[in-house]
Each structure stands twice: as C-alpha cells, then as structure tokens.
Amino acid sequence: GAGVSQSPRYKVAKRGQDVALRCDPISGHVSLFWYQQALGQGPEFLTYFQNEAQLDKSGLPSDRFFAERPEGSVSTLKIQRTQQEDSAVYLCASSLAWGTGGNTGELFFGEGSRLTVL
C-alpha cells in the first residue's frame, strides 16, 4: 500500500477484555516498530521486528502485551485483560532498512489505533 495502515482506528474495550491491533506496513519494509503514545506524551517504544524476527521487546509494559509478525509483513499487537492504564494511541511504524531507517533514520508511521479502556 501507499502508507502504513492500522486498524481499527478506534477501539473501546471494557476492562478485562482482550484486544488485537493490526498494522500493515509499507510493502517491502523490513523493519516494523510499535510505539505507545499516552495522552499528552511522546511515543514510547514497545517492540521491534526485523522481518518476522522480534529483535527487541524490552518496551512491552507487561506480559499482557504480545506482538507478532509471522510472515514478515502484517503485525498484530495483542493486549490481554486490558486495564485502564492501557488507554493510549498505539502507533505502528515501518522502515525499509535494517533498524531505524538505516542511513536515513526515517520511520513511516501509521495514523495509530486509539484504545480506550473503560
């Protein structure tokens, strides 16, 4: 596709429900990142994939968070037993080169999935 596509754009969940957020990166992009952006804050790193390999998941806040990219393209971020503190915008970004943009440092971001946990 022309850009990074995320779905759903908006998700309301009751506390305790499981949610799944999808990211479709730019075709051919090797690297894929998930960031969490709380209201009024900058994005915070969650996890990073190089193709299908999850190379860094140090930012995942708890074992309720799980991400996968089984075929090296589409990625899913799953949050189990959602809590109110999980309310945030979840941003997906992709990059053509290894790591954060290689020579350019440019990430291409999606519009985000806004999760509200009631």
Report, in Å, the least distance between residue 71 CB and other proteins. 21
Of 76, 74, 85, nearest in space to 13 by CA: 85
CA contacts within 13 A on the Cβ side of 78: 9
Residues 87, 11 contacting (CB under 8 angstroms): no
Of the candidate residues 26, 56, 72, 76, the single one contacting other proteins (CB under 8 A): 56
Does residue number 45 form part of the binding site for other proteins (CB under 8 A)? yes
The pairing of beta strand 10-13 with beta strand 113-117: parallel
Does residue number 99 form part of the binding site for other proteins (CB under 8 A)? yes
Does residue number 51 form part of the binding site for other proteins (CB under 8 A)? no
Q: Where are the alpha helices (DSSP H) in 51-114?
A: none
Taking CB under 8 A as the binding criterion, the range among 13-21, 51-59, 61-69, 75-83 that sits at the site for other proteins is 51-59
Taking CB under 8 A as the binding criterion, the range among 10-18, 68-76, 77-85, 99-107 that sits at the site for other proteins is 99-107
